[in-house]
Structure 1
Amino acid sequence: MNTQSLFKIRSWKPLFVSVMLAVGWLLMAGGVLHAAPPLPGAIFTTDSTCSGVDLNIYADKEDVYLNGGPSYPGAAGLPDDFYYVKVTAPDGTLLGTSVGSGNDTPVHVTDGEFDACYQLWAILIKASNGTGGYDDTPNPGGEYKVWVSTVATFDNDSTKTDNFKVKSGGGGVQEEATLNVLKFYDANADGSKDDDEVYLDGWKVRITDGIDIDRYTPVHVVVEPDDYTVSEYMPVESGWMSTTATSFAVSLSDGDDKTVEFGNLCLGAGGGRTLGFWSNRNGQALFGADDLALMVGLNLRNADGTDFDPASYAAFRSWLLSATATNMAYMLSAQLAAMELNVLNGFVSASALIYAPGTNSANALGFAKVGKVMNEANEELGLHGLTLSGSPYRDYQEALKRALDKANNNLNFVQSEPCPFTFSE
């Protein structure tokens, strides 16, 4: 080995050790390297009155103002800070910027809201020559994109954007339409808005006709007559389900005022107790003569398909603990038994709605009342007690079993009130 090679190795080893020690220290300290969280809040273009009218189309570039912060009551606003601003074409071509204007960060946020309604033309300089304002977009549809950021490089995680259109000439804007987007909580899981069901504020939706406009319900946006696609986002939290289409096509003509409504619900707990509960001391303490009589009265099955009519809690417990899905009727019986006990002992309401796709009790969206699913399962067990692999009834029984299993584990009850929801930025 020559001296130069030895020097390289000896120079490299301390660096490697230092890096590894630093990484190790971060890991031990819980300092795993994560990307910066995305900037919360939202920005919107508006007119000079800053009255809250949500506009997307303007007669002139000087008519476009910038506002932001909470887009609905209780929403998280932009962090209090000074912000850089730029305007680009939809493809990212720079048209105007506050960087180098003499006031690089002309927008300021206090308590989550903009200090003022800012005229874009007044706070930017043109990319082409550095004079005030911003250049015309090369986009044939007159489309622009405004950016607000805590960093001059406008990195994604530090930036919020919004799209708008300018239709200059011909006496200004001649045609426009209004698009409304609402979200309701579908508490009865029927796919339609009922009088007693509430609208949800703050659900994120996307409106697109070639460029994207992200908004939060309730949305009332003035747009150019065109064909639009309106889609809903799904929240970060699990358990939410759509009960309507998740995307709608909307055609708007001049003067139209149309509304799109999305329905959703969330799943969660409903008082279920598992097979484990009914086979331990807690379940045993509740298991009385009426519980035993109920079990005997059901069409419960053994592993070999024969009837199971327990003579005691001990026999029931042994049967419950031994349940497998080799014979699907056996496992369905076990889940049915647990749910029947849940209802009898007041833990679950027989009228509670659960997600039960594949069952005959379910509506077109897959939701059914617990009591109906139990009756359906008991009837099916009376007809087909041995459903091994290859049985034509096995898939149907598995759908019943799955619905009751999830309910016993508190996973598929329709919640009477909306659950929390947030969206990735």
Structure 2
Amino acid sequence: MKKNLWSRLLSLLVIGLLVITLIPVTVFAGQNSKKVNDNLNGHNPQKQHVFKNKHFHLSGAIWTTDASGYEVNKKIFTDKEDVYLSGGPKKGGHLPIGEYYIQVTTPNGKTVLGKSTQTYTVNESGRFEAGLIQLSDATDFEASSNPGGVYKVWVSQDSSFAKSQSKTTTFKIKTHTVNEDTTTTTLSINKFYDQNTDGDRDLDSEPYLSGWKVKINRIEDNETKTFIGDFMTPVNQLLLSPGTYEVTEITQPWSDKPYWVNTTPETVSINLAQGDSETVEFGSVFLSSDNSQGISYWGNSLGAEVFNGLENPLGELRALNLLRPDGKPFNPLYYNNKNDQADSFRPWLLSSNSNLRYRLSAQLAVLELNTLAEFVDLDSCLYIGDHQIFVGGDDVVSTNGFVTVDNLIEAANEALAIQDLTNSDRSYQELLKTILEKANDDGHLMYVHPTPPNGPYFS
């Protein structure tokens, strides 16, 4: 029996198909992959370090298929052993090159049913690279509690499977026997406080918010909307008939900007098949001022006392690309030396010169001192809306309009290193100066409050 099975699998390899069976699903390499003779069963390859950027969003997509690999987006299977992952269509939509973890969960993603014990490589063509792996005899993914036998498979470069760094797709096992009543679907809706602004709820630190109103519409023929009703969060296991629904947050009396800002889309469309149980979650943060101090503080006696109590503040300032009003580099040697005012920080900071690059330098120095004095945390997030800010050529503003203090400092420092300014460079440096001024002026309602404010609507 085993020889027949291996013969069938090897014959698939001859026509260019590589089948990988693993916990919890079988990984299918795709129609264009090369044969790999390595048997990696039990082998744990060297894992590639993945830089975790909370604003990074994984591109590409994943598809389920059967052992033949010819149906790229097959969704319904007879048995769990029939489910494979495909490299996808021959052109477009592939995952980026790298190392990936795989897991299977319930459709809402809250219960992990099985997880791979190693990473799998995606090559430059978007295909999985691996040898023949047979692990399903040792461990299988558990049965889903979903009434319709629906599962969700995740592929991620992050072992914690953060949503922004993962790609998912669902599939159904039609012989599933848990609760055979599949005439309805269930939908749950939650609102949470997204303290790190990444659009995903972190279970340990980001609480749910109650009493936020949402409305639900059913979408017919991709355009006609039928109003289902208004609901207050949390909405638990709302019974709906199968179909496509649109869930939209309704602006609350207390949620108008500039105080509350969404970190997730305000409208989510979701397709509910028979027996599905899905959850929609909306995130927001509350903006407030911080303990940041401005130029006048760091130029007066209070600021001088704090400055002199810091560890090597002059060295930290010299590490920045600060400029004098005449455009020459400024490397301060003293806070305020009456015998050497040219190399003293205080008179430089309080200069009334209107040179743009000097004023950007002064605001950069102040924000750096605010972090050294721990008035502001480097990891704190600032809301700057639709603006773009670059570090190393990459836009470091998240898709929902937030930037960290650390990235803001790096961006301003890089901008000051530019020698020959174009009109575009000047406009960009003016933007940075304005943002830094607001960040240093008590935060100007830009900083994300670490916790939701107290009140009757927050739990």
Provide TM-score, normalisation by structure 1: 0.50
Per the alignment, residue 104 of structure 2 pairs with none
Per the alignment, residue 198 of structure 2 pairs with 190
Q: 1:370, 1:417 → 2: CA distance? A: 18
Q: 2:456, 2:270 → 1: CA distance? A: 26
Q: Is the counterpart of residue 223 in structure 1 residue 240 in structure 2?
A: yes
Q: Given that residues 388 and 397 in structure 2 are in contact (C-alpha distance below 8 angstroms), is that contact kept between their aligned partners in structure 1?
A: no
SS at 1:214 equivalent = strand
Runs of 5+ consecutive residues of structure 1 not aligned to the other structure: 1-173
Q: How does 1:80-229 map to 2 (within 5 A)?
A: 176-196=184-204, 197-209=206-218, 210-211=226-227, 213-220=229-236, 221-229=238-246
Q: 1:216, 1:368 → 2: CA distance? A: 31
Per the alignment, residue 305 of structure 1 pairs with 327
SS at 1:229 equivalent = strand
Per the alignment, residue 367 of structure 2 pairs with 339
Q: How does 1:24-423 map to 2 (within 5 A)?
A: 176-196=184-204, 197-209=206-218, 210-211=226-227, 213-220=229-236, 221-235=238-252, 236-237=254-255, 238-288=258-308, 290-310=312-332, 312-313=334-335, 316-322=345-351, 327-355=355-383, 357-361=387-391, 362-365=396-399, 366-384=401-419, 391-408=423-440, 409-410=442-443, 411-420=445-454
* 1:323 CA displacement: 5.4
Residue deviations 1:293-337 (CA, integer Å, cap 9, x gap): 44344321234422234455455444334456x643222212111
Report the CA distance shift for 1:311/1:185 in structure 2 as closer, same or farther (over 3 A).
Answer: same
Q: 1:246, 1:278 → 2: CA distance? A: 41
* 1:261 CA displacement: 1.3
Provide TM-score, normalisation by structure 2: 0.47
SS at 1:264 equivalent = strand
Residue deviations 1:243-273 (CA, integer Å, cap 9, x gap): 2211012233454332211122222234211
Residue deviations 1:33-84 (CA, integer Å, cap 9, x gap): xxxxxxxxxxxxxxxxxxxxxxxxxxxxxxxxxxxxxxxxxxxxxxxxxxxx
Per the alignment, residue 36 of structure 1 pairs with none
* 1:187 CA displacement: 2.0
What percentage of residue pairs aligned between the two structures are identical? 38
Q: Which amino acid aligns with 1:413?
A: Y
Q: 2:330, 2:230 → 1: CA distance? A: 58
Q: Given that residues 245 and 262 in structure 1 are in contact (C-alpha distance below 8 angstroms), is that contact kept between their aligned partners in structure 2?
A: yes
* 1:175 CA displacement: 5.4
Larger Cα-atom Rg: 1
Q: Which amino acid aligns with 2:451?
A: E
Q: 1:234, 1:363 → 2: CA distance? A: 25
SS at 1:251 equivalent = strand
Report the CA distance shift for 1:335/1:198 in structure 2 as closer, same or farther (over 3 A).
Answer: same
* 1:181 CA displacement: 0.9
Report the CA distance shift for 1:242/1:184 in structure 2 as closer, same or farther (over 3 A).
Answer: same
Q: 1:216, 1:275 → 2: CA distance? A: 46
Q: Which amino acid aligns with 1:369?
A: T
* 1:219 CA displacement: 0.9
Residue deviations 1:123-172 (CA, integer Å, cap 9, x gap): xxxxxxxxxxxxxxxxxxxxxxxxxxxxxxxxxxxxxxxxxxxxxxxxxx
Name whichever structure is richer in helix by fraction.
1
Q: Which amino acid aligns with 1:405?
A: E
Report the CA distance shift for 1:422/1:308 in structure 2 as closer, same or farther (over 3 A).
Answer: farther
Report the CA distance shift for 1:313/1:358 in structure 2 as closer, same or farther (over 3 A).
Answer: same
Q: Which amino acid aligns with 1:392?
A: S
Report the CA distance shift for 1:243/1:307 in structure 2 as closer, same or farther (over 3 A).
Answer: same
Q: Which amino acid aligns with 2:388?
A: G
Q: Given that residues 303 and 323 in structure 1 are in contact (C-alpha distance below 8 angstroms), is that contact kept between their aligned partners in structure 2?
A: no
Q: 1:194, 1:414 → 2: CA distance? A: 16
Runs of 5+ consecutive residues of structure 2 not aligned to the other structure: 1-181, 219-225, 337-343
Q: Which amino acid aligns with 2:276?
A: D
SS at 1:350 equivalent = coil
Residue deviations 1:202-230 (CA, integer Å, cap 9, x gap): 22212123336222211132334443221
SS at 1:346 equivalent = coil
Q: Which amino acid aligns with 1:298?
A: L
